[in-house]
């Protein structure tokens, strides 16, 4: 399962400015010009539609959409690349970048949690690591499964990276975006986005349908409020991108 087994500890509030608890304290999102309005959609509603990323001008598209949505350009490129790669590998999934952006917004403010920056190489300036899943109130107890290799904690598992995966989930679904033979790195937005795409497609099937999309997102985090917030972000990004077309 993905990181959000400990909903109370990780997801404190889902208002227009999402508040996330990753390290024991409340973290406010960075100042933004673009606001996502939370909408109370019902389970099963058809997901937001977004046109495929234009592969002939990804860089220009990313610059325009980033400026309009406040998604860091480098993170947006990771979402776009993951969409394109997944459409080639799993065309029946119909994954769109806005779903990845909806997840990334809730999980880590698109890799900017706690003042983290996304480098030109896709690496985070500092690791994003969640709270220890130690059985504290509202937190499921998950003893360490990777000797602290990914999360630095040899006693308890913690969620890692911009898309917040548990080590066990990462070890099963992790994909490397670059063809360099290196291990997938959860602290790299390219790997994290591609792995999230892999997990969502494996979990939901056809993400262009209501049942498929909701099954995938609710597998990522079994919370209707969480899925509604992901949906709200995806819908807002899709609308804005359509206005720029």
Q: Are strands 11-13 and 26-27 parallel, antiparallel or unpaired?
A: unpaired
Query: Closest by alpha carbon to 105, among 76, 132, 131, 130?
Result: 76
State how far the Cα of 42 lies from the Cα of 211, in Å rounded to an integer: 11
Q: What tokens does 35 get? A: 């606001």
**Model confidence, pTM:** 0.89
Nearest to 43 by CA among 207, 221, 234, 218: 218
Q: Sheet containing 11-13: which strands, arranged edge to edge? A: 11-13, 19-21, 26-27
Per-residue pLDDT of the chain (245 residues; tens, 9 = 90+): 454 433 333 333 332 222 334 543 445 555 567 989 998 899 999 999 999 999 999 999 999 999 999 999 999 999 999 999 999 999 999 999 999 999 999 999 999 999 999 999 999 999 999 999 999 998 889 999 999 999 999 999 999 999 999 999 999 999 999 999 999 999 999 999 999 999 999 999 999 999 999 999 999 999 999 999 999 999 999 999 999 98
Say which residues have a Cβ less than 8 Å from residue 207's Cβ, sequence separation at least 6.
47, 93, 94, 95, 96, 99, 200, 201, 213, 216
Report the helix count and the strand count for the chain, using DSSP H and E.
Answer: 8, 3
Q: Which residues contact 45 (CB under 8 A, 6 or more apart)?
A: 210, 214, 231
Other residues' Cβ atoms within 10 Å of the Cβ of residue 211: 14
Write out the two tokens for 57.
């001008």
């Amino acid at each position: 399962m993905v990181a959000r087994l400990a909903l109370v500890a990780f997801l404190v509030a889902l208002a227009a400015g999402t508040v996330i608890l990753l390290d024991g304290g409340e973290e406010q999102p960075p100042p933004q010009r673009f606001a996502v309005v939370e909408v109370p959609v019902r389970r099963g509603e058809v997901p937001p539609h977004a046109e495929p990323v234009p592969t002939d001008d990804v860089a220009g598209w990313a610059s325009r959409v980033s400026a309009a949505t406040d998604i860091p350009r480098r993170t947006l490129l990771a979402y776009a690349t993951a969409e394109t790669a997944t459409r080639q590998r799993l065309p029946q999934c119909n994954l769109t970048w806005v779903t990845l952006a909806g997840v990334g917004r809730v999980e880590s403010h698109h890799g900017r949690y706690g003042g983290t920056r996304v480098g030109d190489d896709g690496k985070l300036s500092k690791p994003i690591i969640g709270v220890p899943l130690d059985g504290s109130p509202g937190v499921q107890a998950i003893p360490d499964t990777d000797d602290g290799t990914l999360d630095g904690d040899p006693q308890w598992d913690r969620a890692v990276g911009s898309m917040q995966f548990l080590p066990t989930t990462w070890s099963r679904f992790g994909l490397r975006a670059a063809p360099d033979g290196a291990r997938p790195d959860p602290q790299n937005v390219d790997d994290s986005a591609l792995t999230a795409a892999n997990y969502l497609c494996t979990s939901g099937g056809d993400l262009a349908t209501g049942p498929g999309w909701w099954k995938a997102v609710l597998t990522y985090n079994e919370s209707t409020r969480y899925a509604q917030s992901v949906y709200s972000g995806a819908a807002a990004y899709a609308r804005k991108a359509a206005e720029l077309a």
